[in-house]
Chains A and B, each alone.
Chain A
Amino acid sequence: MITFEDVVKVYPGGSTAVDHLSMELPTGKMTVLVGPSGCGKTTSLRMINRMISPSAGRILIDGEDVTAKDEALLRRGIGYVIQHAGLFPHRTVLDNVATVPVLLGETRRAARAKALALLERVGLAEEFAKRYPAQLSGGQQQRVGVARALAADPPIMLMDEPFSAVDPVVRLQLHDEFLRLQQDLGKTIVMVTHDIDEALKLGDRVAVLREGGHLAQFGTPRDLVTNPADDFVSGFVGKDRGLRGLSFDDASALPVRPVEGLELDAAGKPRGGTFTKADSLRTVIDLVISSPTGVAVRVGPDGAPDGLVSHHDLADYLASRRP
């Protein structure tokens, strides 16, 4: 657990970046710090690994003050990913990834073997190992950046706008891969972004900060969407909060009608999209709206259709859910 205890950061010149921030970031979860520029999110992140020192207050990792440890040793135990990756241009991809294990005293050989396995893990083929960062695309560089941060298997990872510098298509792909990776690894992750969609998609917890370094709300993505603390948060979360809130509920309780009169396409699949009980209500709404037959088809675990949902069924169900 990472604990912020009444942390203040005032920069020389008097501007307050972080104003009495207190929060607890749970172990094994991903907490996203989100807010407009100047809200102190990056400053807060960088105080965790002491790249910036607080003006007042303390930051604790599992109860231990971060200032108790040697600065460099503290950082070696915390993965660090930044925007544009910040790879060492003079080192091969493999040696970039091997950096921290070598700093920690592993032999270059052992560190490289580990690095190779990690590259595969983040979806880079072995042929990339011998290349230099300049020969990689932005998305590939960012994967190397993530692999480099993971190399020493740190329990904590800090990520400062890790996906901001890549194009939207690659970004979505990196998101999904990263979520899968995190499901396996269960690291304590703190990520900074200015993109609320990214925050709601990736975060187990989201801390919304506002200008001047005030914490506006700290909670799960669902809390933020369904129960925003104030106008700032609801404005920041966006206009389509109602629709967005439905992405947190699955379709298990959605009543369906028996399968009859099912239209099949040329490939023998039901016309209109299919969904399972695990898909979100938002997905189902989208399917029903875009279905040429006006119904979406629910399929069971075996992939066989076991129910139909129409516009009316959806509307009735949503109306019945109103508190």
Chain B
Amino acid sequence: MNLSYLFDPAHWDLGVTGSIPELILSHLGYVALALLIGAVIALPVGLYIGHTGKGSFIAINAGNAGRSLPTLGLLMLMVTLLGLGLLPVLIALTVLVIPPILTSSYAGMRNLDHRVVDAARGMGMHPWEVLTKVELPMALPVMMSGFRNAALQVVATATVAASVGLGGLGRLLIDGLAVNDYSRVLAGAIVVAVLAVLVDLFLALIQRWIVSPGLKGLS
């Protein structure tokens, strides 16, 4: 086993199909789509449950149930039901990212200082203003940690796409294993790990930028 595959310049030529940059891009594509769809579904539900306190058991159980669901198994089930294609992959990955986003947006809203919210209402903010100007900014640190958690998991797990014939960095693992090219497998593993770290760093930067300095060190 060696790093020759990883450091071969030919594998870094963006123009070539199956090159590492091309696989990174398609990998990030699955990641971004899954996070986007997951956030669109889980954020409003989590915020609503956290805000109203209605259906807390959904938020809590979703976290536990989601973590115990094997993504690969779910993917195979979806392929059996829906056939090959992008859709079963996106469904499997979205199911993976929903629990951390749901649980953290719920927790972020639930643990708000109720006195601050009371002050906001008492000063004459409409419910929508209380949500957008007070509750969301205050819940943001907790929500972002859940989102980063989801991103880390999905970067690692999006490799399953290759097992049903799609692209992404899983190609290096699947194809490398198929032809006993362990240098390729190692390259895939390293790139996925580095990508996960970079994505998390990127989200950490965004978090620094959007979370008020007044909340730093408090949560």
Contacts and interface: CB of A to CB of B under 8 A. Distances in A.
Interface of A: 49, 51, 72-77, 80, 82-92, 99-100, 103, 132-134, 148-149, 158
Contacts, number: 71
Nearest to A74: B124
B214 interface: yes
B69 interface: no
B129 A103 contact: yes
Contact of B214 (A82, A89, A99): A89
B123 A76 contact: yes
Contacts of A86: 113, 115-116, 118-119
B137 to A, nearest CB: 4
Contacts of A148: 123
What secondary structure prevails in chain B residues at the interface with A?
A: helix
B123 A82 contact: no
B123 A80 contact: yes
Given A80-B119, A82-B119, A100 B214 contact: no
A219 B124 CA distance: 31
Contacts of A91: 212, 214
A217 B123 CA distance: 30
A85 B126 CA distance: 20
Counting chain A CB atoms within 10 Å of each CB, the highest count among B124, B211, B214, B218 belongs to B124
A80 B113 CA distance: 17
Given A132-B212, A134-B218, A90 B125 contact: no
Contact of A87 (B116, B129, B211): B116
Contacts of B15: none
A277 to B, nearest CB: 43
Interface in B86-144: 113, 115-116, 118-126, 129, 134, 137-138
B122 A49 contact: yes
Contact of B115 (A72, A84, A99): A84
A89 B116 contact: yes
Nearest to B219: A89
B115 A103 contact: no
24 contacts: A49-B122, A72-B125, A74-B124, A75-B122, A75-B123, A80-B123, A82-B115, A82-B118, A83-B115, A86-B115, A86-B116, A88-B120, A89-B212, A89-B215, A90-B137, A90-B138, A90-B212, A90-B214, A91-B214, A103-B123, A103-B125, A103-B129, A134-B214, A149-B123
